[in-house]
Chain A
Amino acid sequence: MRLSFPYMGPTIVYKKLFELLGHDVVMPPKPNKEIIDLGVKYSPEFACFPFKVITGIYLKLMEKNVNTLVTSGGHGPCRAGYYGEVHKKILKDLGYDVEIIVIDSPHDDYKYFYDIVKRLKGDSSWFKVAKVIKTIYDLTRALDEIEKKIEVLRAYSDSGKINRIWMDAQQDFYQIKSAAEVKEIKNKYLNKLEKFKTSIPPENERYRIGIIGEIYVVLEQSINNQIEEKVNRFGFEVERSQYLTDWVRDNALPFTGKDLEEIEAKGEEFIEIEIGGHARGNIGHAIDFKEKGFDGIIHLKPFGCLPELVSQSVMDDLSEKYEIPVLTISIDEQTADANVLTRVEAFLDMIKEKDYREVM
């Protein structure tokens, strides 16, 4: 079994997971223009952008003789839960002999889930699996912890230097084999970042932007036009509503996401029931960011995203009621970097200007 998976966020986490379980893993390519073009060509026109990107990644992987693709499923009503099934159709229609393993919730089909777990587990013992999962979870948390620091420090320091550290850290994490090593590397890089802390200005001069939205475009820097770096460049700190740890806690580890649930429940004020995706949670996060004293919200969504369109519809009202500026950006294959940059710049300028006037 030569396997791979879609590219999203810190992919080393998935790679490590399968590698430690003893599989032959091919690293998926990072989305770029070529991959996006390829995906757009072979996807339905109105499929959401993440779908097209993943199509492109899969097709690119076909060149590397991958015979198994592992992806997550879901039970909707967001379209993402059905990606796997449609990708199967597309790849088969194009003549590729590849198996797509969709990991669905065990609640949906227990037997199917168990079969998949057994296959992915391979020859490893259950004890080893538990150990691997612990290591991977620690790795995810370590990555997220470092990234959160980066998103603050990059606003005040040379972004080149900080990015270098971030890249080195990810490189180093590739080599880990145990939870102890994760800790060691994590501390090494946290120490490196420590000396930049002096650049952080006093509290009243700090500006913070919260990024909310659909998980793929929020997590995947290569398709959201490196929005965090852009915001940082203008001297604003960034925090996202979602990190990979949150996703893991939400989906794979029961009883660990209590605090998240509380935040997400705040969205009820605007969206009364769960409508799929992270729409309601995002509204909750927007309110939460305001309560934490953030200065603005950037709401990212793929063009035509079903749940996020609902949250976008209520966003104006939210912005007015909670007095927090919101900028919604739709992302698809036609989003131009300069466009995003201009809009972000104007938005951030406005926030500073507003603040300045209030002080006067």
Chain B
Amino acid sequence: MKNRKIGIPRALLYYYYFPFWLKLLTELNLEPVISDSTSRELLDKGVKKSLSEICVPIKVMIGHLINLDQKEVDYIFLPRFRSIRKGVVLCPKFLGLPDMVKHSLPGLNTELISDQIDSKNDNIADYSNHQKLAAVLDIPKKEMKRALKKASEFWQRYRKLLYKGYLVDDFAKIEDIEALESLISKFETDNNLPQSKRKKIKTAGKEEIVDIALIGYVYNVFDQYINMDIINKLKEMGVRVHTFSMVAEEIIEKELSRLRKPMFWEFTNKLYGAAEHYFKNDKIDGVIHLTAFGCGPDSMLGQILEVDAKENNKAFMTLRIDEQTGESHIITRIEAFIDLLRLKKEKN
């Protein structure tokens, strides 16, 4: 029997969970089909089909769904992420995403599989989170559980590498499960340190190396099109890039426990904890908050970070991206920011 094709949009939490999904579908003898990388054309289609005032990441997601629809996949897997931590949910737009898609994209021909994800922690491998997938594709419970276990183990190996200092970027381009497996094995045994941990990196001339914490959601920080490839631009300027996914869970927990009331959105909390950690870290020269136009949780987080950065005496900049950001504006702003930090460093 021909393998059934399951489409996965390369948007939102794809960057966090893609090894999990790739492994899961391969283990189940299904063919994962990932939508193309974000591009002008893809984004334009998404923008056209979504409400004008909704945030950019959702517009990107809509674009990817349309893209998958044209790839003639059998189903599109679009889970409804409700919670990945006890008592904390995600942004309302994640909670309502399948509803939004169902009712505002009448042209979508492919059937959606929208399992609701309610997990106690980041590891979403529970069977209850994949019941619909199993039902629609007629997969026996035992088989599903076995595949989930494999996928979960695989995802944890990837997660460990992120904690070690690798960027999601180092993996996200790969769609082939075998290539991904060999890359993960390679990194696990590699003597070379990840870029964020290396003592020496390439800089122009003998300039000081600058350490920047890039605070933002995975789908903003690692979608190279939407953020104008900011990570590579920073790297070219001789910057070691740190992101929230490198900060251990316990550190984030500790920072959060200082709040009387943590925020309601899981990833916003993660960013908060990571940012506070970086504010106090002497090795970090500056913090960039990368946020998307119309992001609600970030409007709250941004204000808090701005005040806290001031208190901690840490250089802080907010970069906002939207569907029409010009590349030169991003370059000018990060260049100016990095130059200032470098000047400060060289003076000391």
Contact = CB atoms under 8 A, between A and B. Distances in A.
Interface of A: 43-48, 73, 75-79, 81-82, 85-86, 89-90, 92-93, 102, 104, 108-109, 112, 270-277, 279, 303-307, 309-310, 312-314, 316-318, 330
A44 B303 contact: yes
Contacts of A304: 53, 55, 294, 296
Contact of A275 (B96, B263, B299, B300): B96
Which bucket holds chain B's interface residue count?
Answer: 35 or more
Contacts of A316: 103-104
Given A44-B302, A46-B295, A304-B296, A73 B261 contact: yes
B99 A310 contact: yes
Sort A-B residue pairs by CB-CB distance and give the 5 closest, nearest first.
Answer: A76-B264, A310-B96, A46-B299, A314-B103, A275-B95
B300 A270 contact: no
21 contacts: A45-B299, A47-B300, A48-B296, A76-B89, A76-B263, A77-B95, A81-B264, A86-B303, A93-B310, A104-B261, A271-B96, A279-B92, A279-B96, A304-B294, A306-B93, A306-B297, A307-B96, A309-B51, A313-B103, A314-B103, A316-B104
Among A77, A102, A314, find the residue whose CB has the most chain B CB atoms closer than 10 A.
Answer: A77
Given A89-B304, A271-B96, A82 B264 contact: yes
A297 to B, nearest CB: 16
Given A86-B304, A89-B307, A313-B103, A46 B96 contact: no
Given A46-B295, A76-B89, A314-B100, A86 B300 contact: yes
B23 interface: no
Contacts of A92: 307
Interface string B32-51: 00000000000000000011
A142 B109 CA distance: 52
Contacts of B80: 272-273
Interface of B: 50-51, 53-55, 80, 82, 89-93, 95-96, 98-100, 102-104, 106, 116, 259-261, 263-265, 293-300, 302-304, 307, 310
Contacts of B98: 272
A274 B300 CA distance: 22
A134 to B, nearest CB: 30
A270 B96 CA distance: 10
A275 B307 contact: no
A18 B261 CA distance: 25
Contacts of B95: 77, 273-276, 310
A197 to B, nearest CB: 41
Contacts of A303: 53
A271 B299 contact: no
